[in-house]
Amino acid sequence: MTKLQGIFAAVPTPLTADGKAIDISNISKQVERFVDAGIHGVVTTGTTGEFPALTTEEHKSVIKAYIDAANGRFPVIAGLGSNSTQHAIEMAQFSENAGAASIMIVPPFYDPLSFKALYKFYEDVCGSISIPVMYYNLPGATGVHLTAAQIRQLGEIKGFDYMKDTSGNAKELADLLTNPSDKITAFNGWDTLTFFAMSHGAQAGVWGVASVVPKECVELWNTFTKEKNLDKAREQWKFLWKVSDFLEGVNYPAGIKAGLDIIGHSAGPVRLPTLPLEKEDIEKFTEILEQRKYK
């Protein structure tokens, strides 16, 4: 089984101009950009991929299209989330059968579960498939706040191998990275903490920014892991910080799609009720992206 490491682009779900259908053909175009940039993998249908706005069939079609387009050139992690264990298992099994390397599951939301119920949910889903599961730690959206100790406890579940941390809690992330468990590997998923996480030895980052400027993101990773040149990495991070900081200040999927429009690799609009960025935000983002190294 392939060990997941490196820069994983959190990828958009391309939509037609009216936002009513999936633009499957666009997925291949996005994938070729990532291959050319040297991206180490992608995560579909997460926050960036607008999964809550997709029907089950749309969700499945996006996962399959990314896997088919990648064609084994990099691992594809299928993002999903459900308040129904049965539906989560259905999506997990579909993803495995389609060829996903792993699945990323956001915990049930709206009415947060007790830790006992959450443990059982992941135990059931992990037990239904043979590929590894990544926990999507997103307390700001789910209301599920776990300590580093609780995350390590979830790591006792067979197949519960990874965690994408999008909590923004630097101390908890530092705890997980400084005192790693042999059962679960923590990845960074909070854009502005990417440099922090890499400096603490994170083995991977799931990063929406990498959908917009993938070459710059891979370059930063290589500077850290291959060249081990901290001063050079600091300089590269200055631009990526600007992009990350901007995206954290706007609606995230709308920001990613605006960025793709700006650089000429459109993935269509966001789906209602999410609205596109305001004109002044687009102008600000355009100014930032003009500073990118690779055009």
**Residues 99-142: tens digit of each pLDDT:** 999 999 999 988 889 999 999 999 999 999 999 999 999 999 99
Tell me which of 3 and 10 has the higher pLDDT. 10
Q: Is the pLDDT of residue 2 over 80?
A: no
What confidence score (pLDDT) does residue 112 get? Answer: 86
Q: What average pLDDT is seen over the chain? A: 97
Annotated binding site for pyruvate: 48, 206
Catalytic residue IDs: 136, 164
* Closest by CA position to 142, among listed 56, 52, 204: 52
Phi and psi based region of residue 130 (left: phi greater than 0; alpha: psi -120 to 50; beta: remaining): alpha
279 within a domain of the structure (yes/no): yes
CATH number of the domain that residue 94 is part of: 3.20.20.70
Model confidence over 160-205: pLDDT tens digits?
999 999 999 999 999 999 998 888 999 999 999 999 999 999 999 9
What confidence score (pLDDT) does residue 135 get? Answer: 97
What confidence score (pLDDT) does residue 3 get? Answer: 86
State the Cα–Cα distance between residues 180 and 283, nearest whole angstrom: 42
Quote the percentage of the chain above a pLDDT of 70: 100
What confidence score (pLDDT) does residue 202 get? Answer: 95
Q: Is the pLDDT of residue 207 over 90?
A: yes
182 within a domain of the structure (yes/no): yes
Q: Is the pLDDT of residue 290 over 70?
A: yes
- Torsion on CA atoms 293, 249, 26, 189, rounded to nearest 10: 80
132 within a domain of the structure (yes/no): yes
Beta bridge partners of 106: 81
295 within a domain of the structure (yes/no): no
1 within a domain of the structure (yes/no): no
State the Cα–Cα distance between residues 180 and 167, nearest whole angstrom: 17
Task: Find the domain containing 269 and state its range.
Answer: 6-290
Average pLDDT over every residue of 5-22 = 98
Binned at pLDDT 50, 70 and 90, residue 1 comes out as low
What confidence score (pLDDT) does residue 157 get? Answer: 97
How many Cβ atoms from other residues are within 10 Å of residue 142's Cβ?
18
Model confidence over 50-86: pLDDT tens digits?
999 999 999 999 999 999 999 999 999 999 999 999 9
- The number of domains in the chain is 1
What confidence score (pLDDT) does residue 226 get? Answer: 96
Tell me which of 175 and 262 has the higher pLDDT. 262
Record the tokens describing residue 104, joined without a space.
Answer: 């990323």
Average pLDDT over every residue of 241-268 = 99
